[in-house]
């Protein structure tokens, strides 16, 4: 299964100490360029998520996760675009999850701060 990782999923996994690479073992993982841009912006700010964003960027680089190009510059639209074409999307965003569900895409999310669920 090809899994697209969203910004908030990566940050939540980091914050809740969920090993998504163990949980999603055997699947190909990707990010979109807008997700990388979003992580970089968050990592430069002084916020509670900046450290998690920096660690997410490091993990993406260490694990060699490929960044996919997208016609869409907006993160959610880029994820929706790939979700419609067969990718599973890992996100914590409830609004995006609703849109993905309507489009027939598979959705992955973290539940109760420790379980990775596939819907």
- The confidence score (pLDDT) of residue 91 equals 97
Is 106 in a helix, a strand, or coil?
A: coil
Structure-token pair, residue 61 = 């680089």
According to DSSP, the residues that pair with 88 across neighbouring strands are 3
What's this model's pTM, rounded to 2 decimal places?
0.92
According to DSSP, the residues that pair with 67 across neighbouring strands are 31
Report the residue count for the chain.
Answer: 119
The model's pLDDT over 43-65, given as tens digits with 9 standing for 90+, comes to 999 888 999 999 999 999 999 99
Is 68 in a helix, a strand, or coil?
A: strand
Q: Tens-of-pLDDT digits for all 119 residues of the chain?
A: 999 999 999 999 999 999 999 999 999 999 999 999 999 999 999 888 999 999 999 999 999 999 999 898 899 999 999 999 999 999 999 999 999 999 999 999 999 999 999 99
Q: Which CATH architecture has domain 2-118?
A: 3-Layer(aba) Sandwich (3.40)
- The confidence score (pLDDT) of residue 48 equals 87
Q: What is the C-alpha separation between 75 and 26, in angstroms, rounded?
A: 25
Q: What is the C-alpha separation between 85 and 43, in angstroms, rounded?
A: 30
Q: What is the C-alpha separation between 18 and 15, in angstroms, rounded?
A: 8
Which of 19, 4, 12 has the alpha carbon at shortest distance from 100?
4
Angle at 25 between CA 18 and CA 10, to 5 degrees: 40
Domain ranges of the chain: 2-118
């Amino acid at each position: 299964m090809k899994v697209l990782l969203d910004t908030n999923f990566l940050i939540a996994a980091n914050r809740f100490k969920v090993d998504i690479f163990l949980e999603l073992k055997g699947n190909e993982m990707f990010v979109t360029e807008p997700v990388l841009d979003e992580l970089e912006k968050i990592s430069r700010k002084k916020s509670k998520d900046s450290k998690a964003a920096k660690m997410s960027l490091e993990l993406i680089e260490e694990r060699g996760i490929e960044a996919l190009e997208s016609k869409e510059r907006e993160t959610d639209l880029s994820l929706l675009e790939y979700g419609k074409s067969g990718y599973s999307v890992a996100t914590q965003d409830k609004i995006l999850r609703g849109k993905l569900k309507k489009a027939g895409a598979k959705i992955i999310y973290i539940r109760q701060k420790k379980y990775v669920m596939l819907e």
